[in-house]
Chains A and B, each alone.
Chain A
Amino acid sequence: MADNPTTITLTIDGQEVTVAKGTTILRAAKQAGKDVPHYCYHDGLSSPAMCRLCLVEVEGAPKPMPACVTQATDGQVVHTESEQALDFRRGVLEFYLVNHPLDCPICDQSGECKLQDYVHEEGRKHGRSREPKRIFGRDDFGGDVLFYGDRCVMCTRCVRFMTEVERDARLTVVERGNRSVIDTFFEEGLEGTHWHGNIVDICPVGALVSKDFLYKARAWDLEHTDSICPSCSQGCNISLHVRDNLVQRLKPRDNLEVNGFWMCDHGRLNYEWLNRGDRLEAPLVRSESGVRAMGWREALAAFLEAAAGAAGNAVRAVASPRASNEDLGAFRALVESLGGGDIVYRMSRAADEVVLKGFPSLARRRDLAPNGRGAELLGMLRVGSDEGTGGLEDVADHDGIVLVLGDALDDQAPDFGSSAALFVHLATHASAASANAHFVLPITSFAEQEGSFTNLNGRVQRFWPGIRAPGAARPAWFVIGVTLAERTGSTAPRSAAESFASLGSSFPPFAGMSYDDLGTGGALVNQPVSLSGD
């Protein structure tokens, strides 16, 4: 390594690892595929080295060393699984259980609890404590957080998150010794802070739990699906946690380019709409004899016939910034195929950004939809008010072709589109306006389909289906793709990947991009995005 002084090589459990100088033993071990058990250490926080669980044996060191703060040195020999290391971990784990209530059967964290995991893997079979346990009880910390002091392992991650990352020190440790406990300042609590849901995520045990999720589901019953938060244009990487085809909660996924390890409370708690019933489940076709639900084949044949009949009429179209890049691209192609015309979209706009001070590239952005940037890059125009309403006056009484994708038109008058020669509404839910549509085509939400969003910085990120689509609802790119293929004699895209790849031929920002390029962290579009001045 003499020729490359920026790296060092050490041996961890017999395996040689080369890491950058300054790397801690814990990070080096991670690089070697070894997870050294730890509580107080977190990638996004400072390291107080106080849980003492990551103590490892370093040859030549007089004492076991905390892996989280001890820098790896060249030629060091580290044992994370030696009898000494295991002995100290067993000891520390037993200490944790002296006062722990062991109420796993009624604890929300059970199944994803690090104390449970580590004790199960490495702890003593039987604890030796015969003494009465210390009791703190439960405390409401305000906001979405409940605190169960008896389960706490005093790792202080929550205190450090509020102090170092949210930079609003609402939590602290009071008292000392084994009387120490996390607490709020007087009655202030977490109410009014915007990122406190993260302390529930980083709590390694069930001490901090979400009121929203309390007793809703067991961790092992939840299926996790990688997704993108749909609540603003930041594009936080998240997981949908689903049971019984219902989204139970959202959790952030790590992506240092976008959201670090965090997500805001607004996004975290804004998921119930995904579980909303009263969905459109079959294509509805209106004729003189009334509205009739029918199968896709029949409905699309009718639509092609109607489109041919309406040919020559001017097209006015409305899209949604909640639709994926693939859906919006397909919609754009549909509009072009029917003669072309402007596509407008509406998007709610909050008064202020809510910046995470300790990770300032992350904020709850003003634009409260995930794909406004995608719509903009696909040449669509923003209309309407900051509430995401209005702006459709030209469309409402248009007498030509009216196409609407994703926008439910909830704010529109019942006669919206009633003068149109052809009115097609691709939507998840019906509204008063959609009663006027000649064709109401049921489409899926982002949680029910594969696709991608483009965040405010122009980063294209993928999401995957976490819940099943209701009835005959299908992704819009698929519905439109099949229709256009029929109309032009071309081949319909068979997957979201194909649909995405085809965007590039018409839209330079996406030229040459494919799902393979996006990976798990997403990738920036080809042209620099000019951030619209807020």
Chain B
Amino acid sequence: MAYPYVSDREVRVISRHFGDPAARRLDTYVERGGYQALRKAFELGPDAVIDEVKASGLRGRGGAGFPTGVKWSFMPKQPTRPHYLLCNADESEPGTFKDRELIRWDPHQLLEGVLISAFAIRAGHAYIYCRGEFFETTQVLARALEDAYAGGYAGRDILGSGFDIDVTIHVGAGAYICGEETGLMNSLEGQRGQPRVKPPFPAAVGAFGMPSTVNNVETLATVPHIVTHGGAWYRGYGTEKSPGTKLFCVSGHVNRPGNYELPLGFPMMDLIEDVCGGIRDGHALKAVIPGGSSVPLLNAEECSRCTLDYEGVVAAGSMLGCASVIVMDETTDIVKQVRRMVQFYAHESCGQCTPCREGTAWMTKVLRRIEDGRGTEEDLDTLLDMSHQMTGTTICVLSDSAAAPVVSSIHKFKDEYLALIRRGERVGVA
């Protein structure tokens, strides 16, 4: 297979069909054992499916890492109102490109996961909320869904089981904040894409005011495998607290960037040096953002002792997030990188909460001024103080995410800021 790069250290579970266009077709998918997990789930019943997923220790792959089975168990056991499963395919975190690949290469894997999960939480209707820019991806998924309906895998009386589950693809308009679960629900309902105040939590009052669960594409794509092979099998990979495999989206200054499915707990330096073929010619590692732009930067020393599982990255001083590893070599201008990320958050802030609305935009201006050589050392204190005011003070965590790289970069790469402030010198040329 010629999927851009494949490493022999990968454990390809959900990515096993990457690079194989045939896998998109329903007949091929079924030939290779597809939709057997769905049949098995119908036999097991919803509670057994939830228990199996709980046993697997699968954690939410969207970034928060909350145990999926536990999340499902918050849904009422005896539905009195419609339940909804919402599949979050609004993949927008800078540095992330795994959900797109999961849908493009293996749409039926996701659909099977969606159907099983909807069945488990007793939802009669599932929505797949696709990012607005995912044009081709959505087309692939829509074709697959049509086939699934035609083949009796979705809709009324699925596979003669007596269960009805409808699946609707909803295309967003390309707003980052609609990937936040309550923002997603507002957007789905036709409201402004703004996160909601919690409580109430989605399992009590979610989409259309009904109990709802939001799961990431990768999480749902994993579910059929857990149902087929069992939770214990899944625990055979990864670490005790972070079981299973995870797609790592590696971008930046490595020789072989791409998606790699690795067991959790994989050493970061092995990922960079071995799986990705090392830093590009003759350059040295400077910093890594391990989990998408929302998490703190790690410097080279921290990377050297970082293992890629939820706990390991926290121990190194950052977060695993959605495992989007952005690698930067020593030519990188950290201040510019940070400004670019904060600018992204300023652009994507929904504008509800004052600290985020005003803070992200103000930070961008200050960083740009520093970048232009017109900064002062007091600006760094102001930035840190702003970051403090923007952390934990808002409805969702977008402003926390904007503050994280600012704080970590000022702490870890202060010399670069000071160089710009004192002499107007840029470090690196990126």
Measured CB to CB, the residues of A under 8 A from B are 47-53, 55, 62-64, 66, 69, 88, 91-92, 94-96, 98-99, 128-132, 134, 153-154, 173, 175-180
B358: contacting residue among A47, A49, A53, A96, CB under 8 A: A96
Let me know if A96 and B354 touch, CB within 8 A: yes
Q: Which residues of A sit under 8 angstroms from B108, Cβ to Cβ?
A: none
Let me know if A173 and B351 touch, CB within 8 A: yes
Within 8 A of A (CB), among B330-372: 346-355, 357-362, 365-366, 369
B355: contacting residue among A47, A52, A62, A153, CB under 8 A: A52
List 7 other contacts, CB 8 Å, given A177-B347, A178-B357. Answer: A48-B197, A52-B353, A88-B393, A96-B354, A177-B348, A177-B357, A178-B346
Pairs across A and B, CB under 8 Å, 27 listed: A47-B197, A50-B352, A50-B353, A52-B354, A52-B393, A52-B394, A62-B392, A69-B197, A88-B389, A88-B393, A91-B388, A92-B354, A92-B389, A92-B393, A95-B362, A96-B358, A99-B358, A130-B369, A154-B357, A173-B192, A176-B175, A176-B349, A177-B346, A177-B349, A177-B350, A177-B361, A180-B357
Let me know if B355 and A91 touch, CB within 8 A: yes
Q: Which secondary structure characterizes the binding site on chain B? A: helix
Let me know if B366 and A131 touch, CB within 8 A: yes
B361: contacting residue among A50, A51, A92, A178, CB under 8 A: A178
Known: A95-B359, A177-B357. A55 touches B351 (CB 8 A): no
Q: Which residues of B sit under 8 angstroms from A176, Cβ to Cβ?
A: 175, 177, 348-351
Residue on B nearest A69 in the bound complex, by CB:
B197
Let me know if A55 and B393 touch, CB within 8 A: yes
Q: Which residues of B sit under 8 angstroms from A177, Cβ to Cβ?
A: 346-351, 357, 360-361
Measured between alpha carbons, how far is A69 from B395 in the docked complex, in Å?
12
Q: Does B36 contact A (CB under 8 A)?
A: no
Measured CB to CB, the residues of B under 8 A from A are 175, 177, 192, 197, 346-355, 357-362, 365-366, 369, 378, 382, 385-386, 388-389, 392-395
Measured between alpha carbons, how far is A131 from B197 in the docked complex, in Å?
31
Q: Which residues of B sit under 8 angstroms from A66, Cβ to Cβ?
A: 197
What total of A-B pairs shows CB separation below 8 Å? 95
Q: Which residues of B sit under 8 angstroms from A88, Cβ to Cβ?
A: 389, 393
The smallest beta-carbon distance between A155 and chain B, in angstroms, is: 9
Residue on A nearest B177 in the bound complex, by CB:
A176
Residue on B nearest A50 in the bound complex, by CB:
B352
The smallest beta-carbon distance between A91 and chain B, in angstroms, is: 3
Q: Which residues of A sit under 8 angstroms from B361, Cβ to Cβ?
A: 98, 134, 177-178
The smallest beta-carbon distance between A62 and chain B, in angstroms, is: 8
Q: Which residues of A sit under 8 angstroms from B347, Cβ to Cβ?
A: 177
Q: Which residues of B sit under 8 angstroms from A154, Cβ to Cβ?
A: 351-352, 354, 357
The smallest beta-carbon distance between A246 and chain B, in angstroms, is: 39
Let me know if A131 and B369 touch, CB within 8 A: yes
Measured between alpha carbons, how far is A48 from B195 in the docked complex, in Å?
10
Q: Which residues of B sit under 8 angstroms from A53, Cβ to Cβ?
A: 354
Measured between alpha carbons, how far is A154 from B355 in the docked complex, in Å?
12
Q: Which residues of B sit under 8 angstroms from A129, Cβ to Cβ?
A: 362
Measured between alpha carbons, how far is A170 from B40 in the docked complex, in Å?
53
Known: A128-B382, A176-B175, A178-B360. A92 touches B355 (CB 8 A): yes
Measured between alpha carbons, how far is A51 from B361 in the docked complex, in Å?
16
Measured between alpha carbons, how far is A94 from B389 in the docked complex, in Å?
10
Residue on B nearest A172 in the bound complex, by CB:
B192
Measured between alpha carbons, how far is A180 from B175 in the docked complex, in Å?
14
Let me know if A64 and B352 touch, CB within 8 A: no
Known: A88-B393, A176-B349. A95 touches B192 (CB 8 A): no
Let me know if A95 and B358 touch, CB within 8 A: yes
- Residue from A62, A153, A154, A178 having most chain B Cβ neighbours under 10 A: A178
Known: A69-B197, A98-B358. A175 touches B351 (CB 8 A): yes
Q: Which residues of B sit under 8 angstroms from A99, Cβ to Cβ?
A: 358
Measured between alpha carbons, how far is A94 from B393 in the docked complex, in Å?
14
Let me know if A51 and B354 touch, CB within 8 A: yes
Residue on B nearest A39 in the bound complex, by CB:
B354
The 6 closest A-B pairs by CB, nearest first: A91-B389, A180-B351, A95-B358, A178-B361, A177-B349, A131-B365
Q: Which residues of B sit under 8 angstroms from A175, Cβ to Cβ?
A: 351
Measured between alpha carbons, how far is A50 from B35 in the docked complex, in Å?
45
Q: Which residues of B sit under 8 angstroms from A51, Cβ to Cβ?
A: 353-354
Let me know if B362 and A64 touch, CB within 8 A: no
Q: Which residues of A sit under 8 angstroms from B360, Cβ to Cβ?
A: 177-178
The smallest beta-carbon distance between B339 and chain A, in angstroms, is: 13
Q: Which residues of A sit under 8 angstroms from B358, Cβ to Cβ?
A: 95-96, 98-99, 178
The smallest beta-carbon distance between B35 and chain A, in angstroms, is: 40
Known: A176-B351, A177-B346, A178-B349. A98 touches B192 (CB 8 A): no
Measured between alpha carbons, how far is A176 from B353 in the docked complex, in Å?
11
Known: A95-B389, A128-B382, A177-B346. A49 touches B355 (CB 8 A): no
Q: Which residues of A sit under 8 angstroms from B352, Cβ to Cβ?
A: 48, 50, 154
Q: Which residues of B sit under 8 angstroms from A91, Cβ to Cβ?
A: 355, 385-386, 388-389, 393
Q: Which residues of A sit under 8 angstroms from B378, Cβ to Cβ?
A: 128
Let me know if B392 and A64 touch, CB within 8 A: yes
Q: Which residues of A sit under 8 angstroms from B365, Cβ to Cβ?
A: 131-132
Let me know if B354 and A131 touch, CB within 8 A: no
The smallest beta-carbon distance between A508 and chain B, in angstroms, is: 51
The smallest beta-carbon distance between B354 and chain A, in angstroms, is: 5
The smallest beta-carbon distance between A391 and chain B, in angstroms, is: 54
Residue on B nearest A90 in the bound complex, by CB:
B389
Q: Which residues of B sit under 8 angstroms from A178, Cβ to Cβ?
A: 346, 349, 351, 357-358, 360-361
Measured between alpha carbons, how far is A62 from B382 in the docked complex, in Å?
24
Measured between alpha carbons, how far is A157 from B141 in the docked complex, in Å?
41
Residue on B nearest A96 in the bound complex, by CB:
B354
The smallest beta-carbon distance between A402 and chain B, in angstroms, is: 65
Let me know if A153 and B382 touch, CB within 8 A: no
The smallest beta-carbon distance between B242 and chain A, in angstroms, is: 23
The smallest beta-carbon distance between B124 and chain A, in angstroms, is: 29
Measured between alpha carbons, how far is A520 from B175 in the docked complex, in Å?
50
The smallest beta-carbon distance between A114 and chain B, in angstroms, is: 13
Q: Which residues of A sit under 8 angstroms from B395, Cβ to Cβ?
A: 49-50
Let me know if B354 and A49 touch, CB within 8 A: no
Residue on B nearest A178 in the bound complex, by CB:
B361
The smallest beta-carbon distance between A47 and chain B, in angstroms, is: 8
Q: Which residues of B sit under 8 angstroms from A52, Cβ to Cβ?
A: 353-355, 393-394
Residue on B nearest A53 in the bound complex, by CB:
B354
Measured between alpha carbons, how far is A52 from B399 in the docked complex, in Å?
13
- Residue from A91, A134, A177 having most chain B Cβ neighbours under 10 A: A177
Let me know if A179 and B354 touch, CB within 8 A: no
Let me know if A153 and B354 touch, CB within 8 A: yes
The smallest beta-carbon distance between B352 and chain A, in angstroms, is: 4
Q: Which residues of A sit under 8 angstroms from B385, Cβ to Cβ?
A: 91
Let me know if A95 and B392 touch, CB within 8 A: no
Measured between alpha carbons, how far is A213 from B81 in the docked complex, in Å?
51
Let me know if B351 and A179 touch, CB within 8 A: yes
Measured between alpha carbons, how far is A69 from B197 in the docked complex, in Å?
9
The smallest beta-carbon distance between A224 and chain B, in angstroms, is: 30
Measured between alpha carbons, how far is A223 from B129 in the docked complex, in Å?
56
- Residue from B354, B388, B389 having most chain A Cβ neighbours under 10 A: B354
Measured between alpha carbons, how far is A397 from B227 in the docked complex, in Å?
99
The smallest beta-carbon distance between B390 and chain A, in angstroms, is: 8
Q: Which residues of A sit under 8 angstroms from B349, Cβ to Cβ?
A: 176-178
Let me know if B355 and A95 touch, CB within 8 A: yes
The smallest beta-carbon distance between B164 and chain A, in angstroms, is: 35
The smallest beta-carbon distance between B361 and chain A, in angstroms, is: 4
Measured between alpha carbons, how far is A201 from B350 in the docked complex, in Å?
26
Q: Which residues of B sit under 8 angstroms from A49, Cβ to Cβ?
A: 197, 395
Residue on A nearest B392 in the bound complex, by CB:
A63
Q: Which residues of A sit under 8 angstroms from B192, Cβ to Cβ?
A: 173
Measured between alpha carbons, how far is A258 from B358 in the docked complex, in Å?
39
The smallest beta-carbon distance between A163 and chain B, in angstroms, is: 11
Q: Which residues of A sit under 8 angstroms from B362, Cβ to Cβ?
A: 95, 98, 129, 131
The smallest beta-carbon distance between A78 and chain B, in angstroms, is: 17
Q: Which residues of B sit under 8 angstroms from A94, Cβ to Cβ?
A: 389
Q: Which residues of A sit under 8 angstroms from B346, Cβ to Cβ?
A: 177-178
